[in-house]
A = this chain, B = another copy of it.
């Protein structure tokens, strides 16, 4: 095969105009067809390449990406190169084409068996908005925020694939005065985030420096970290969010390899205070120009830009491990809500409705502060590809269903 840049490559697969799933993307996911077991595949145009079948390698037949991700970056690069060959060189067509399945015919599954789920708080605009809403009159950022990526562990056992119904959670709700009430949340919210999936593990006691980020992280998905703000407000002091978040976290089904995001890398924003050496990314920042869109019942309500995130995913990983914490294959490291400086760039309803005080107006004149039963939220994302196209991060969606225990 000739040595040519990816911009020059053409696939024999019939790719729809403007597809976000061209040769520059090649995201990994787990799919099934009726009557068959979940297995790994790669999206190409409107099809899925059945990796288990085309390779015959049982690593792709386990029902999660973990076994392949654990093989590490050399294996990731080699497979990407092989799949690119298969999809571009006509000589492979007869062997490969029978293993292309229309994406409309498959069911997507959770791509990764999640090990630990860590959620950061890395958008300055989001943190400042929350500070202004929740602590009016105080400085919007707490003293630690500029010095380290604030984060916490979430519940990995309730991470589910896009499309999982969002059952309105029940719990103890903050009331303006007096004791809490019990019942379904009245402040069900979204958080539009980007998640980074760890492939290669690290040893306990060995920090992962900034430069090792692409040796450990395989790729990127979209995350909706559903939140019950009234549960969260009551429970969170002093140990952080718990039941306000742990009922469900949804992820997009396609994990876009970091290798597909080379053209999306951008500088990090200026920082207010000198960074400690383990966080100083001056030479090699991992800012990423990902563009998110949030739709509520079909109406575009926000376009959060990932490029301006104060803390990058490489800094998040370096911080997460500076105390010697080990990484495992399947760790999901999310950015926290992505919000930009403009109102129409905010990544949560808490911000979009300013704590419920400024309702959003949707199509037909309906309004929303927080989510109502039946509402559907979809977060999608794109990034510049290495061939000049825009590649798709797919989407993560969910529809709210009532709390089955409600008595109201």
Contacts and interface: CB of A to CB of B under 8 A. Distances in A.
A151 B239 contact: yes
A324 B247 contact: yes
Given A144-B234, A182-B276, A157 B240 contact: no
B235 A170 contact: no
B205 A167 contact: yes
Interface stretch (A10-18, A84-92, A326-334): A326-334
B169 A115 contact: no
A228 B327 contact: no
Given A155-B153, A276-B172, A323-B228, A237 B404 contact: no
A276 B277 CA distance: 49
A156 interface: yes
B247 A170 contact: no
A365 interface: no
A124 to B, nearest CB: 15
Nearest to A327: B157
Given A235-B144, A322-B170, A240 B240 contact: yes
Nearest to A153: B153
Given A147-B179, A152-B153, A153-B154, A323 B241 contact: no
A176 B139 CA distance: 19
A264 interface: no
B152 A240 contact: yes
Contact of A323 (B154, B180, B243, B404): B243
A231 interface: yes
Interface in A131-189: 142, 144, 147-148, 150-158, 160, 164, 167, 169-172, 179-180, 182
Nearest to A336: B239
A244 to B, nearest CB: 8
Nearest to A165: B205
A254 interface: no
Contacts of A150: 235, 238-239, 242
A204 interface: yes
Interface in A390-408: 404-405
Interface string A211-249: 000000000000000001001001111111111101110
A331 B157 contact: yes
A270 to B, nearest CB: 17
A246 to B, nearest CB: 5
Contacts of A278: 182
A382 B182 CA distance: 37
A273 interface: yes
A303 B119 CA distance: 36
A180 B218 CA distance: 32
Q: Closest 4 interchain pairs by CB? A: A240-B240, A169-B323, A152-B239, A153-B153
25 contacts: A144-B234, A147-B172, A147-B179, A147-B180, A151-B239, A151-B242, A152-B239, A152-B240, A152-B241, A152-B242, A153-B154, A153-B242, A157-B326, A157-B327, A167-B324, A169-B324, A171-B322, A182-B277, A182-B278, A205-B404, A228-B323, A231-B323, A236-B239, A236-B240, A243-B320
Interface of A: 115-116, 121, 142, 144, 147-148, 150-158, 160, 164, 167, 169-172, 179-180, 182, 204-205, 207, 228, 231, 234-244, 246-248, 273, 276-278, 319-320, 322-328, 331, 404-405
